[in-house]
Amino acid sequence: MRYHVLTLFPEMVLAGLHTSIIGRAADRGIISLNAVNIRDYADNDYGKIDDYPYGGGAGMVMQAEPVYRAYEAVADSLEKEPRVLHMTPQGRVFSQEMAQELALEEDLIFLCGHYEGIDERVLEEIVTDHVSIGDYVLTGGELPAMVMIDAISRMVPGVLNNKESAQFDSFQNGLLEYPQYSRPQEWHGRRVPEILLSGHHANVDAWRAQQSYLRTKERRPDLLKQDNHKNIM
């Protein structure tokens, strides 16, 4: 998997992603991280890539040409036309299902906007997916891109050491993950559930499935609206 992030703050993206599991995956060549500075494609000597919006209004708008040139610099080096993900609160809400879908791609381009947004004409020209990480507004698209890259990378073979790690993540089967415990068996008067100490794998699996359902019902009942999990109880 190769990630290409079109951004005004490449150092922010690279610093945030070259750590922990994602950073190690990049070091091992399982994924690659390419941050492209849109200012490098400005048509002036001082890197200005924004201007006042037509029709008036507050703030500035990122111009189409620098964004398009940055996109071309990446797309022209690829064998096939890539998916271009525009980070915007107006987009489809990112989900575990989408992470699995995107993990099948060879290259992904993330377009990170700032100010009042990006000239609509270049969005119409290059963007394949408008994506949001939630119903709120951030100062730029870098954090959403980093969130998505982290989630997508977990689905890429070889990124996680334990092949089962992603299989039992929250949302993987439409439910939240079951509670986890480690040593010691008792901490602050709270004991590990006896079933987890039994060594009976079938019973442990059944308990975990039940706990996933109960936790989802308590914390995210909206996930149960599809009514696909009643047989767990």
Q: Is there a catalytic annotation at residue 154?
A: yes
pLDDT of residue 173: 75
- Taking 60 as the threshold, does the pLDDT of residue 6 lie above it? yes
pLDDT of residue 161: 81
Q: Which residues have a Cβ under 8 Å from the Cβ of 63 and sit 6 or more positions away? A: 49, 50, 51, 119
- Taking 80 as the threshold, does the pLDDT of residue 89 lie above it? yes
Q: Is there a catalytic annotation at residue 205?
A: no
Catalytic residue selected from 24, 89, 177, 208: 89
Catalytic residue selected from 116, 129, 150, 177: 116
Classify domain 2-153 at the CATH topology level. Answer: Alpha/beta knot (3.40.1280)
Q: Under a CB-based contact definition with an 8 Å cutoff, are residues 89 and 162 in contact?
A: no
> Taking the CB of residue 204, how many other CB atoms lie within 10 A of it?
16
d(CA 138, CA 123): 19
Digit-coded pLDDT (tens) for 62-85: 999 999 999 999 999 999 999 999
Catalytic residue selected from 10, 107, 144, 154: 154
Domain positions in the chain: 2-153, 186-232
Q: Which residues have a Cβ under 8 Å from the Cβ of 114 and sit 6 or more positions away? A: 8, 50, 62, 139, 140, 141
Closest CA to 159 of 70, 33, 58: 33
Q: Is there a catalytic annotation at residue 177?
A: no
Q: What percent of the chain has pLDDT over 70?
A: 92
Model confidence pTM above 0.85: yes
Catalytic residue selected from 150, 169, 179, 208: 169
pLDDT of residue 172: 62
Q: Please, what is the Cα angle at 110 between 119 and 12, to 5 degrees?
A: 100
d(CA 22, CA 15): 11
Q: What percent of the chain has pLDDT over 90?
A: 88
Which of the four pLDDT bands, split at 50, 70 and 90, describes residue 53? very high
d(CA 133, CA 153): 16
